[in-house]
Amino acid sequence: MDLLAQLNFAHAVAGLLVGLLVGLTGVGGGSLMTPLLVLVFGVSPQTAVGTDLLFAATTKAVGMGVHHGRSTVDWKIMRRLATGSLPAAALTLVALNTFIHIGANTNRTILGVLGSLLILTAIGILFQRKLLAYGATHHPLDADQAFVPTVVLGAVLGVLVTISSVGAGAIGVTILLMLYRRLPVARIVGTDIAHAVPLALLAGAGHWFIGSVDGGLLLNLLLGSIPGVIVGSHMSSRAPDGLLRPALAAVLTISGARLLMQ
């Protein structure tokens, strides 16, 4: 009875819609779900971030299983990213729990970081192909030369994801595509999804310890998102990319601007 009492249709529908978009576009749930929780459902920024991290970890674990089965995960690159991201996430959690008082100022900081990253993600979505075309005119790095930039990218993502739940998605994939241009896009996307699972799990567990995760909300979101991401993944090959990407970028830009004005 307690479980049934926690079911919320609106939250489940939100999870379903975000899951569909993640499956269709490959953009992470953080850039979609966190602003939705804050702007539509009135969830506090810190609780939205903490809940979304565990939401993303669970949803992307499903995607990781699919990519692993298709051998589209480069575990060497994934380990490089994790070498930078996991320690960075742990240190950020320590800072949040030890040195930073959680209050109105912290929530405003989270909103500012989140809004800025949403706009940056929108730019990454719109100009990803142009950035890749630019990168293709330059001599690609070999595997050894890409080691340090990959670890640094992981560290930056670790901090950003822990604070805002946004960072991997379009931004991380675009940079990885420029660093490892010899790899197929599907392998880069699979690697990014695989890396997001332990990162989001660690950051989400830290937020749970701090007390900024709503378990009931998380359950409702997952009830919608897991079937949504499966359906979206099957539809992705038939989706009009030229329409979806500009529409998604517009939504993220508007959401980012609204969060910056909060």
Which pLDDT tens digit goes with each residue over 81-112?
A: 999 999 999 999 998 877 665 555 666 777 88
Per-residue pLDDT at 200 exceeds 80: yes
Q: What is the pLDDT of residues 31-74, one digit of tens each?
A: 788 888 888 898 888 888 889 899 888 888 877 877 777 787 89
For all residues of the chain together, what is the average pLDDT? 80
pLDDT score at 46? 84
Pairwise CA distance, residues 73 & 137, whole Å? 26
Pairwise CA distance, residues 228 & 187, whole Å? 22
Torsions phi, psi for 111 (to 5 deg): -60, -40
Of 109 and 153, the structure prediction assigns the larger pLDDT to 153
Residue length, the chain? 262
CA dihedral 33, 36, 37, 41 (to 10 degrees): -150
Most confident listed range (80-84, 189-193, 211-215): 80-84
Share of the chain above pLDDT 90, in %: 20
Taking residues 14-25, report their average pLDDT: 81
Q: How confident is the model at residue 189 (pLDDT cuts 50, 70, 90)?
A: confident
pLDDT score at 28? 60
pLDDT score at 4? 52
Rounded to 10 deg, the angle between the 169-179 and 147-164 helix axes is 180
Taking residues 254-260, report their average pLDDT: 80
Per-residue pLDDT at 79 exceeds 70: yes
Q: How confident is the model at residue 77 (pLDDT cuts 50, 70, 90)?
A: very high
- Burial (CB < 10 A; 0-12, 13-18, 19+), residue 238, is exposed
Per-residue pLDDT at 135 exceeds 60: no
The pTM of this model reads 0.80
